[in-house]
Structure 1
Amino acid sequence: MRKLIESTFVSLDGIIDDTRPSTASRAEPQHWCQPYWDEDHAGYAGKLMTSADAMLLGRVTYEGFAEAWSARDGEQADLMNGLPKYVASRTLTETTWNATLLKGDVAEEVAKLKEQPGGTILKWGTGELDRTLVEHGLVDEFHFWYFPVIVGAGKHLFEGAGFDTTHLKLAEVNQFGSGLVVHVYVPR
């Protein structure tokens, strides 16, 4: 069975993104993460990317990534652009950027993807899709990238998720010179 890895950026005060509509553009991860994007960050992200042979994305992350990466080139961009992508959305009717729209029940579709032959499925970003994934026990590893910054406003990790308490086991800690720390958790 394929493994599904969830990877998301988190500030020390639990912020993962700006709220919509925007209340504080400083809460957008590209503003508070960028000072920590160094060789350690790139190496770890590259390791995650090369371990995967597909990506699972919610609509918001898919649209942001497609805009940011589709026009880029280089080793990491080529890897990102080349990976097959599966997109969960209630509003999209078509996709581009090497992506397939998941149709029907998302939990069932992701469970089917995990049963197919292949390697790791990598999911970047935490949002609405995660409610379903966590509720149905479909995430095999969580990689929470804790950035040494307090944002002060924005959307919190798993805000309003609505699923039952989910206990995790700390499996690994990766600390970088910049102060960025990645905690890897697995279900108990």
Structure 2
Amino acid sequence: MRKLIESTFVSLDGIIDDTRPSTASRAEPHHWGHPYWDEDHGNYATNLVHSADAFLLGRVTYEGFAEAWSTRSGPEADMFNTMPKYVASRTLTETTWNATLIQGDVAEEVARLKEQPGKNILKWGTGELDRTLIDHGLIDEFHFWYFPVIVGAGKHLFENTGLDTTHLQLADINRFDSGIAVHVYTPK
């Protein structure tokens, strides 16, 4: 069975992103995280992507990634652009960028995808989709990339997801010279 791996950038004060105009310029991970993106960061991210043969994305992450990656070229961009993507959304009616919109019950469809032969399925970002995935025990690993920065405003990890108490087990910690520490958690 394939594993579903979630990968999320997190500041020390728990910020993962923001879509509010008042704080978005400082709360988006590509702004506060970029100074720490080095060879260690790149190698870890590349290995994570190479361990997968499909992406699972919520609408917000899908739209952001499609905008950022679809016009790029080169080995890394080609891999991102050609890898199949499965998008969970209540508002999108169609997708582009080699993506398939999940129809019907998301939990059932993700469970079906996990049963297919292949490599891991990689989910970037944390949001509303997580409640469904966690409630149905579908996430096998969480990779939380803690960056040595305090953002001060923005959307917090698992904010507005409506999750109940969920216990996880620390499986690994990867430390980079830049100060990033990736904590890998599995369900307990």
Does TM, normalized by the shorter one, top 0.5?
Answer: yes
- 1:90-148 CA distances to partner (integer Å, 9 max, x unpaired)? 11111111110000111111111111111100000011111111111100000000000
Give TM-score, length-normalised by structure 1.
0.97
CA contact (8 A) 2:131 2:161 kept: yes
Question: Which sits farther off after the overlay, 23-32 or 53-62?
Answer: 23-32
Q: Which residue of 1 aligns with 2:177?
A: 177
Kept after mapping to 1: 8 A contact 2:128/2:160:
no
Task: Name the SS of the counterpart of 1:113 in structure 2.
Answer: helix
1:160 is displaced (CA, Å) by 2.3
Are 1:119 and 2:119 an aligned pair? yes
RMSD value, Cα: 0.8
- Residue in structure 2 matched with residue 40 of structure 1 by the alignment: 40
Q: What secondary structure, in the 3-state scheme, does the structure 1 residue paired with 2:130 have?
A: helix
Per the alignment, residue 10 of structure 2 pairs with: 10
Letter in 1 for 2:77: A
Distance apart, 1:22 and its partner CA? 2.2
> How many pairs are equivalent?
187
Structure 1 gaps, min length 5: none
Q: 1-side partners of 2:20 and 2:144: how far apart?
A: 25
Matched residues, percent identical?
A: 77
Q: Distance in 1 between matches of 2:10 and 2:94?
A: 30
Conserved in 1, the CA contact under 8 Å of 2:12 and 2:146?
Answer: yes
SS in 2 for 1:151: coil
Q: Could you list the runs of 4 or more consecutive aligned residues of structure 1 that deviate by over 2 angstroms after TM superposition?
A: 20-23
Cα distance per residue 1:29-62 (max 9 Å; x no partner):
1110110111111100000000000000000000
Q: Residue 165 of structure 2 aligns with which residue? A: 165
Distance 2:125 2:163 in 1: 18
CA contact (8 A) 1:12 1:150 kept: yes
Please list, as runs of the form range in 1=range in 2, the aligned pairs for 1:1-188 lying within 5 A after superposition.
Answer: 1-18=1-18, 20-24=19-23, 25-188=25-188
State the SS of the aligned residue for 2:100. strand
| Contact 1:23–1:154 (CA under 8 A) maintained in structure 2 | no
User: What one-letter code is carried by the residue in structure 1 that aligns with 2:3?
Assistant: K
Aligned equivalents of 2:21, 2:28: Cα separation in 1: 9
Q: Structure 2: 5+ residue runs without aligned partners?
A: none
